[in-house]
Amino acid sequence: MSDATLPRHDAAAAPAPAAKPQSARSVVGESPIIQAALITVSLAFLLLFLLLPLITVFVEAGARGWSGYREAITEPDAVSAIRLTLLVAAIAVPFNVVVGVAAAWAIAKFEFRGKNLLISLIDLPFSVSPVISGLVYVLLFGAQGYLGPFLRANGIEIIFALPGLVLATIFVTFPFVARELIPHMQAIGSTDEEAALTLGASPWRVFFSITLPNVKWSLFYGVLLCNARAMGEFGAVAVVSGKIRGLTNTMPLHVEILYNEYMSAAAFAVASLLAGLALVTLALKALLEWRYGDAIAASRRH
């Protein structure tokens, strides 16, 4: 049952079927030549659009050697950008986990009117241009915005400060956790929980010892993707950051600034950290699929 609006990232849902020997289906399959052609086309496409940019990042980052690289990523502004990025993600991701789990619980376990609308609203930030996600907070919290005078009177800073960065990041990553969990929880159903409740378990106990363990892998996927996007967000954050060096510059913004200062090696050095994060994310995800593929599939077949 695929209700996912976001892709499900669960190649493991069906346990590694491609491992089946091809010869067993001699009546179906394509001729080896067509196979080779299709594989070549796919690989060329991937190389051109995916791998080349990745390789470029690392090649350009290494352009000034190891010492230049180390200098670029240990320079104070870079360090503060890294720290800020981690801090923003450390607030935004847990927030979205709590909300995502709550939303998935409400949507997957209950039938109520307006559910489809709610699902679509949760999905909305996903298709909203990042620029718009920044713009809405400027319109709301900016000095000329609807709440601007009130915030100013009370000395509260939201945009061009940490809260604005966090809000914009939460906005763009809002659907990630919920959209991973909802289809999985729907597929599992609620018979386990109902049984436990009937046997007298407390609701929180049911949640923590039955529901959460059942969906832990989907949750983990959601967190991984949410985190990757949170650390890498550019458009939304650019609008609300004010770009103050050492204070409100996140890593992606710092990349842009360095790029604009003719320090392209340094820009790519910081970019390579983000690319490295992306690779770790993918590796973790792949590892989980290989190692626990059967477990995930089993829990989904539940």
Contacts of another protein in 44-73 (CB under 8 A): 45-46, 48-54, 56-57, 60
Q: If you ran DSSP here, which 8-state letter would residue 201 be given? A: -
Rule CB under 8 A: choose which of 64, 207, 220, 292 binds another protein. 207
Can you read off the two tokens belonging to residue 250? Answer: 């996140």
Question: Among candidates 52, 1, 11, which has minimal Cα distance to 185?
Answer: 1
Question: Among candidates 193, 227, 250, which has minimal Cα distance to 100?
Answer: 227
Q: How far apart are CA 29 and CA 41, in angstroms?
A: 18
Rule CB under 8 A: choose which of 78, 81, 97, 171 binds another protein. 171
Rule CB under 8 A: choose which of 64, 71, 86, 246 binds another protein. 246
66 or 204: whose CB is closer to another protein? 204
Rule CB under 8 A: choose which of 75, 109, 220, 292 binds another protein. 109
Binding-site size for another protein (CB under 8 A) equals 147
35 or 74: whose CB is closer to another protein? 35
Rule CB under 8 A: choose which of 1, 33, 153, 199 binds another protein. 1
What's the min distance (Å) between Cβ of 213 and another protein? 17
67 or 114: whose CB is closer to another protein? 114
Site map 78..107 versus another protein, x via CB under 8 A: -------------x---x--xx-xxx-xx-
Q: How far apart are CA 251 and CA 182, in angstroms?
A: 31
Q: Does the footprint of another protein cover residue 199 (CB under 8 A)?
A: no
What's the min distance (Å) between Cβ of 70 and another protein? 19
Rule CB under 8 A: choose which of 62, 73, 163, 292 binds another protein. 163
Burial 101-139 (b: 16+ CB within 10 A, else e): bebbbebbeeeeeeeeeebeebbebeebebeebbbbbbe
Q: Does the footprint of another protein cover residue 301 (CB under 8 A)?
A: no
Q: Does the footprint of another protein cover residue 294 (CB under 8 A)?
A: no
Can you read off the two tokens belonging to residue 148? Answer: 């601007």
Q: Does the footprint of another protein cover residue 23 (CB under 8 A)?
A: no
Phi and psi, residue 154, nearest 5°: -100, 5
Q: Does the footprint of another protein cover residue 288 (CB under 8 A)?
A: no
36 or 295: whose CB is closer to another protein? 36
Which residues in 123-162 contact another protein (CB under 8 A)?
123-132, 135-146, 148, 152, 155-162
Contact residues for 131 (Cβ-Cβ < 8 A; gap 6+): 235, 236, 239
Q: If you ran DSSP here, which 8-state letter would residue 24 be given? A: G
Q: If you ran DSSP here, which 8-state letter would residue 209 be given? A: I
Site map 251..270 versus another protein, x via CB under 8 A: xxx-xxx-xxxx-x--xx--
Q: How far apart are CA 44 and CA 50, in angstroms?
A: 10
Upper half-sphere CA count for residue 27 (Cβ side, 13 Å): 0
